[in-house]
Each structure stands twice: as C-alpha cells, then as structure tokens.
C-alpha cells in the first residue's frame, strides 16, 4: 500500500470529533467547489462561501464540530448539532460536509453516527432531524444507512439565492434502551 493521503486512506483510520475553531473556517469553505455544492450544503448562504460565512453559522444552540482522522492534522469533515428552539430534546443536524477528496468511503456515515451518539448520549435527544436535497443521493443514502427515515417533502424559499426548493425531511428517534443480558 502507498503512503497515506486524502485519496489513499489507511484501513485502520479512527475518527475524532473536536470543537470547531475559526482557524479551520478556510479549510471548510475550500471544500465547496461549485454553486451546487453550496446550495446543497447551505442554501441560506449567499455565494461565494467565505471563512467568515462558515464562522457565522455558529449560534447559541449550535454545537459546531470538526472530524479528524488519526492520520491527519487537518479536519476531514464539518457538521453541526443544533438544538431546536422549542424542544430541548429535539436536535437538528446541519451543514454536514466531508472533504471532497475523500468522499464515498464511509467517512460521512462514520461522522453522522458520531454526531448521533453525542445527541442521544450526551444531550439526551429524543429525536434528531435534518433536511436534505432529494437530488443529493449520496447524502440521502448516508443518512438512511445511519437510521434516518424520510418523513416528508417540504418546500423552502431561500432569499439568499432567490430559489424555491424541494427538501426531504428525515428523522431519527432515540433508539429504545437495550435490555441487560445476564448469565
């Protein structure tokens, strides 16, 4: 096997979540390569995506996190776990993005599962939701593999780009507790 690189990841890669810091905003913004990328990631964000706009995504109910590989110093993913305003046990996944150089290797699924673990175990979430463009088939498949179910199609008007878009809402309820197994 050749040297480790974003396109040649090691088989034994482990993942660590760390709080987002402003100094990584340029890296995250750099992962958006097209208008479609930006629309699918942040439909309320007006192009072009800048580090300042990534920093501005943070809010009082947002937990902004970076995904790191044990093999790299730079983050490979960014995402948010946002508490819903009217329900402290309902969270929302937002702005999920993986470095495009290493997509389609299960990294997004690993990231989403880590975010769900934090939501359910650390924040006692009863439900986690998200919206995704139905045309973004790799993302939809990733969320389905993580356990999300499509619950409805919504129409959203995005003033930042003047577009009206169909979005797929997906939800995942807290898994029931597992029974204790005793001998």
CATH code assigned at 93: 3.40.630.30
User: Counting Cβ atoms within 10 Å, is residue 86 exposed (0-12), middle (13-18) or buried (19+)?
Assistant: exposed
Token pair of 32 as six digits: 């958006």
Cα–Cα distance, 108 to 144 (Å, whole number) = 12
Whole-angstrom distance, CA of residue 175 vs CA of residue 89: 13
Whole-structure pTM value:
0.87
Domain count, the chain: 1
Give the chain's radius of gyration (CA, Å): 17
Quick check: is 180 in a domain? no
Question: Which residue did the predictor score with more confidence, 90 or 159?
Answer: 90
Does residue 117 fall inside a structural domain?
yes
Confidence check: pLDDT of 2 > 60: no
pLDDT > 60? residue 82: yes
Range of the domain at 124: 15-129
* 71 has pLDDT over 90: no
CB 78 within 8 A of CB 26: no
* pLDDT at 4 > cutoff 90: no
Instruction: Write down the mean pLDDT value for the chain.
Output: 90
Q: Where does 111-173 show beta strands of DSSP type E?
A: 127-132, 149-158, 163-173
Report the C-alpha gap between 114 and 95 in whole angstroms: 15
Query: Is 181 inside a domain boundary?
Result: no
pLDDT for res 179: 80
Write the pLDDT tens digit of every residue in 136-161. Answer: 999 999 999 999 999 999 999 988 77
CA distance 138 to 165: 18
Residues 173, 40, 38: CA angle, nearest 5 degrees: 135
């Amino acid at each position: 096997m050749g040297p480790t690189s974003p396109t040649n990841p090691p088989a034994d890669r482990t993942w660590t979540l760390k709080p987002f810091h402003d100094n990584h905003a340029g890296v995250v913004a750099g992962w958006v390569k097209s208008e479609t990328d930006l629309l699918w990631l942040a439909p309320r964000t007006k192009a072009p995506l800048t580090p300042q706009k990534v920093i501005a995504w943070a809010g009082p109910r947002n937990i902004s996190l970076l995904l790191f590989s044990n093999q790299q110093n730079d983050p490979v993913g960014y995402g948010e776990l946002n508490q819903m305003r009217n329900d402290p046990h309902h969270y929302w996944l937002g702005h999920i993005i993986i470095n495009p150089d290493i997509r389609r290797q299960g990294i997004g699924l690993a990231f989403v599962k880590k975010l769900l673990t934090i939501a359910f175990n650390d924040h006692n979430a009863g439900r986690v939701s998200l919206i995704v463009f139905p045309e973004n088939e790799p993302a939809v498949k990733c969320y389905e593999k993580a356990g999300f179910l499509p619950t409805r199609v919504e129409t959203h008007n995005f003033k930042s780009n003047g577009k009206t878009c169909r979005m797929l809402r997906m939800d995942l309820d807290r898994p029931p507790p597992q029974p204790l197994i005793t001998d």
